[in-house]
Amino acid sequence: MKPKILLRIAALLVLLIVIGQAIGHFNGKAILNPVDKKLIGQMNQQQFNVHGSLRRWGDFYEGFSLDVSLVLIVFTVVFSMLSHIAKKHPKVCLHLLWPYLICFAGFTLSSLCYLFIIPGIANLIICVLVIWSMVQLHKQAKLASLMDLGNLHHRHHMHHDHIAAQSTPLHDESKKVSPTGGDLEGA
């Protein structure tokens, strides 16, 4: 499969994670379980000083949830952008994908360890898509560099052929010219 398609699938999957994150974020306050409700209430009651600002644990969850959503939206856009330039600039895309692979590998581990299975598996699939894209981009970059070398070699020979053609005098074998400049065929 082409990197363009793989990166678009990755972008779509990240977008689905964003949608799931947003649904969880905005529906997280509509808790029906009394034990969960009590815990969330306690997280939002106690304030404490954080570098001069009064905050609650609930504020941290709210802020980090919004931050994660924003980061994932940006990742969706970046994967989409990379899919558009993958064919023309495979080497650039290959290098730009490394930090995203590292990030999504971390997301996979943290999701599986501290969250739940759905984002863990989604992040793992994104890692597989990014690795697959990177393998394909590496092949494309290698092929492009070989083609560049071939074109350079071809242009080098064409240049030498052109110089040789300019330095060799052209003469017409059908006309014989005497050393004095007269036409020998008519003589």
In this model, does residue 69 exceed pLDDT 90? Answer: yes
Q: Is residue 165 situated within a structural domain?
A: no
Q: How far is CA 33 from CA 14, 36, 38, 40, in A?
A: 30, 5, 9, 11
Determine the residue type at 163.
Answer: I
Domains: count for the chain: 1
What proportion of the chain, given as a percentage, has pLDDT over 70? 78
The pLDDT value given to residue 47: 87
Q: Is residue 152 situated within a structural domain?
A: no
What proportion of the chain, given as a percentage, has pLDDT over 90? 50
pTM of the model: 0.73
User: Per DSSP, what are the bridge partners of residue 177?
Assistant: 183
Look up the domain containing 51 and give its range: 3-146
Under DSSP, the state recorded for 115 is S
Yes or no: say if 84 and 93 are a contact pair by the CB < 8 Å rule: no
